[in-house]
Structure formats: C-alpha cells, structure tokens
Amino acid sequence: MTTPEIELVAPGTYEENGVPHEQLAWLREHDPVHRHHGDPERGNPPFWAVTRHEDVVHVSRHPEVFSSYERLALFDEPADEHLALQRMMMLNQDPPEHSRKRGIVNRGFTPRAIGVLERHIREICRDLVAEALRRDGGGAGDGDGAADFVRDLAAPLPLYVICELLGAPPEDREKIFNWSNTLIGADDPEFQRSPDEGTRAATQLYAYAAALAAERRERPRDDIVTRLLQPGPDGEVLTGDEFELFVMLLSVAGNETTRNAASGGMLALFEHPGQWERLRADPALVRTAADEIVRWVTPVNLFRRTAVRDTVLRGRRIAEGDKVVVFYASANRDASVFDDPFAFDVGRDPNPHLGFGGGGPHFCLGAHLARLELCVLFETLLDAMPNIELSGNVRRLRSSFINGVKEMPVRLRPVSR
C-alpha cells in the first residue's frame, strides 16, 4: 500500500468524522515520522507528522529542540495581527519564560484549589440538568426535540466553571459566555463571523479581566485570582497584562476542549450502550470513564512545534525551522501502549493517554479540573436521567485541529422518584 493521504481540513465545514484514524494507523505502522507536503496554498507549510505515542511524548518533553514559540495551530492565517499577542501567552512560550508563568498559575490549579470548586461544579451540573429537563417538555420525556446536549449541557458547563474559578458573579456569566464563544468562533456554527467581532470580544474580555484584577488587588479574597496576583513563596506575581492574557487563554483552552470531551463522551456512550449500562450499574467507574472519554475523543487532535535546531527522530533528519506536528489522536490509538485501542472501555486502567498533552512543560493546566467536570456531569446525568437517548442527527465539526460535536439532540427521560 502506498502512503495514504492525510487531508488537511481548516475549520468551517461539517461532515462526519474529522479524524482520519485509518490513515494514522497506517502511518504509525509504516512511516511514523512522516513528511507531509502541507497545504501551502491555504497557509500550511510542509511538516513532519509524528504519530506514535512514544515519539509524541519525546517531542513534548524536549522544548529546547521543539519550540512552541511559532504558531501552534496547523493553519497559519496569512495576516495574523494577533500574533504578537499570542506569543505573550504561555501556551506559545518556551522555558524559561514559560516556566516562570507556569510556576505562578500552578498555584491556582493545585488539587486542593480545584477540590474547593467541586461543590460549585455539582451545583452547576444539577442546575443545567434540571434546566435541560424543563426544556424537554417540562421533563416529561415526550421527545419534543427541544434539548440539545451541546447547547444545554456541554457548552455552558466549562464556561460557568471558569466564571466560578474567576469568582465572577452569576449575572456576568452570560456576557463572559458570549465573549468566549465569539473568541473561539463557537458562537457561529458556520464560522461566518467577521474577524472584527472576534477582536471586539477579545477586547471586552481583556477589559473585564483587568477590572477583576483591580478589584482583587483592592479587596483580596481567598480565591484563585487573588493567589495569582499576590506574590507567592518565590516572590513572583503575574503582571497586569499577563493576568489578562491568562484569563483569555483559560477561556480558549478550557472551553471548547471540555465541551467537546463531554459531548463526544456522551456520543461514545450512545454508540456503546453496553458501556453506559456498566456505568449505570457501577457509577464509581466515572473516574476511569472520564479519562477514557478524553482518550477516545481526543478533543485536541494535534499541536504543532517548530524545530529550533537540526535533530533526528526515528531516523528522519529534521532540520532547524521544520514544522513538527504531534498527533495526540494517533498516539491515543497506539496499540503498543493500549490493549485493544479501538475499544471504548469505561473501566480502562491504566490509561496513559495523551489527550492532555505529552507530559512536557505545557501539559494541560486544567487536566484535574476537566476530569472533575466530566465526572460530576456524568454522575449527575446517571442520577437524574439514566434513560437519556439520542433523538436526531449529530452534527460534527470537521477540522484537522479540533474533534468536536456541534449539535446533538437528545431525549431526556428522568427517573421517576
């Protein structure tokens, strides 16, 4: 068989199944560090496609060779006026600048700090589920098609949790929700909005974060925002700009990812009813299920790095300046690491998936939080409506970068008590 083509898809179209698993499986076996011609006409230079688990880990853990400083997404926008701003965000920085910021923000994301949020996450899930039941013909389960898993549950949850984390009052949730959605393009299913709208939303969110910081400096609280703005044991603090940019990063990094994990996870459970039955019989399995969902869905398919020196990976010569793309979606189906990788198994343990990254300095800051959100959401669903059913066509985002479900109509049948 000749090398299969991995088609590159810029966001903006919809079709079934965006992840080319067959092609990735072939590459893992026959050409694990593959030279892809890119798609220069649409702003995508040639790159090395890294598809094996071991190699994705290697690239992620060697930022001194594989830098995050150049843009991380697959498609470069021709005139990206936000590039300077993006480079100031820690996701796009390398050590030592990255390490300083990461050291500060880690304070807000310790298991203890996240544990404090659990009670609020439970309340948010309970309210969202109750609201979704009301939308569905008053919870009668008469299938009027009004409930949509993405719109009513998966989308608001991560945003509301970020608001909670920032200590934003509930009346501000809607505007933060709208700014964040506009920023990531999720407000517009056809991606038709103008770049100006994105810029406006970014400016508003930035100003909101600045006001929040000013308020906490004036009246410190026992909360995450205060912890980031006050000197820690090392004397380090986030400066004004750094804090504002961090809030923007959170609303991008913690938003669509968790949304797509929740909706993709629900879809996987619809497609594997035996696994839903297992969860119903033993809800304690939600813990392993949350990680299996992140492995199975892999909401972020890939990230790109740039080689800052000549190097060799699995015998291939990578030159300084070459683009190197790590395919988390491929690593998460690598049979040398996972037994039966194409089986969705809510009890999978151990599960060394790379859905949150390959374990280097950029390993997902929100991994504990995302796991907690998924656990609580599915616990709440199992408790309130174990008879949830898919009731219409699923619309998926077709993108090389994000594995996303945009619409998923469901019929909710609450437990009668």
Q: How far apart are CA 237 and CA 218, in angstroms?
A: 15
Question: Binding residue for ligand HEM (CB under 6 A) from 261, 267, 279, 402?
Answer: 261
Question: Binding residue for ligand HEM (CB under 6 A) from 69, 206, 270, 363?
Answer: 363
Alpha-carbon 149 to chain mean position: 17
How many other C-beta atoms are found inside a 10 Å radius of the C-beta of residue 90? 23
Nearest residue relative to ligand HEM (C-beta): 366
Give yes or no for residue 91 binding ligand HEM (CB under 6 A): yes
Q: Which is nearer to ligand HEM, 348 or 411 (CB)?
A: 348
Give yes or no for residue 355 binding ligand HEM (CB under 6 A): yes
Closest CA to 276 of 287, 294, 289, 288: 289
Question: Binding residue for ligand HEM (CB under 6 A) from 33, 50, 90, 329?
Answer: 90
Give yes or no for residue 362 binding ligand HEM (CB under 6 A): yes
Contact indicator for 19, 402 with CB cutoff of 8 Å: no
Contact indicator for 366, 109 with CB cutoff of 8 Å: yes
Give yes or no for residue 254 binding ligand HEM (CB under 6 A): yes
* Shortest reach from residue 105's CB to ligand HEM, in Å: 7
Closest CA to 397 of 154, 51, 158: 154
For residue 397, the SS3 value is strand
Q: In terms of C-beta density within 10 A (0-12 exposed, 13-18 middle, 19 or more buried), how is residue 342 classed?
A: exposed
The conformation of residue 236, written as its DSSP 8-state character, comes to -
User: What are residue 107's phi and psi, to 5 degrees?
Assistant: -55, -35
Give yes or no for residue 264 binding ligand HEM (CB under 6 A): no
* Residue length of the chain: 417
Contact indicator for 259, 139 with CB cutoff of 8 Å: no
Tokens 């030592």 belong to which residue?
96
Question: Binding residue for ligand HEM (CB under 6 A) from 9, 365, 372, 402?
Answer: 365
The pair of structure tokens assigned to 339 is 């037994």
Give yes or no for residue 155 binding ligand HEM (CB under 6 A): no
Give yes or no for residue 154 binding ligand HEM (CB under 6 A): no
Closest CA to 302 of 13, 3, 60: 60
Question: Binding residue for ligand HEM (CB under 6 A) from 141, 357, 404, 409?
Answer: 357
* Shortest reach from residue 297's CB to ligand HEM, in Å: 8
* Shortest reach from residue 256's CB to ligand HEM, in Å: 9
Q: Which is nearer to ligand HEM, 18 or 254 (CB)?
A: 254
For residue 249, the SS3 value is helix
Q: Are strands 323-327 and 302-307 parallel, antiparallel or unpaired?
A: antiparallel
Q: How far apart are CA 247 and CA 316, in angstroms?
A: 39
Torsion of Cα atoms, 276 then 277 then 280 then 284, to 10°? -70
- Amino acid at site 149: F
Q: How far apart are CA 339 and CA 351, in angstroms?
A: 10
# residues contacting ligand HEM (CB under 6 A) = 29
299-328: which residues touch ligand HEM (CB under 6 A)?
A: 299-300, 303
Question: Binding residue for ligand HEM (CB under 6 A) from 33, 162, 201, 318?
Answer: 162
Question: Binding residue for ligand HEM (CB under 6 A) from 224, 247, 370, 412?
Answer: 370
- The neighbouring-strand residues paired with 312 are 317
Binding mask 96-115 for ligand HEM (x = CB under 6 A): ------x-------------
Tokens 């990063």 belong to which residue?
249
Give yes or no for residue 366 binding ligand HEM (CB under 6 A): yes
Part in contact with ligand HEM (CB under 6 A); list of ranges 174-182, 227-235, 281-289, 360-368:
360-368
- Give the largest CA-CA distance in the chain: 66
Question: Binding residue for ligand HEM (CB under 6 A) from 51, 180, 258, 263?
Answer: 258
The pair of structure tokens assigned to 254 is 């913690």
The conformation of residue 4, written as its DSSP 8-state character, comes to P
Part in contact with ligand HEM (CB under 6 A); list of ranges 31-39, 216-224, 335-343, 357-365:
357-365
Q: Which is nearer to ligand HEM, 112 or 417 (CB)?
A: 112
Q: Which is nearer to ligand HEM, 90 or 375 (CB)?
A: 90
Give yes or no for residue 265 binding ligand HEM (CB under 6 A): no
The pair of structure tokens assigned to 174 is 């809607």
Binding mask 23-62 for ligand HEM (x = CB under 6 A): -------------------------------------x--
Q: Which is nearer to ligand HEM, 133 or 229 (CB)?
A: 229
Which stretches of the chain bind ligand HEM, using CB under 6 A? 60, 90-91, 102, 158, 162, 249-250, 253-254, 257-258, 261, 294, 299-300, 303, 355-358, 360, 362-366, 369-370
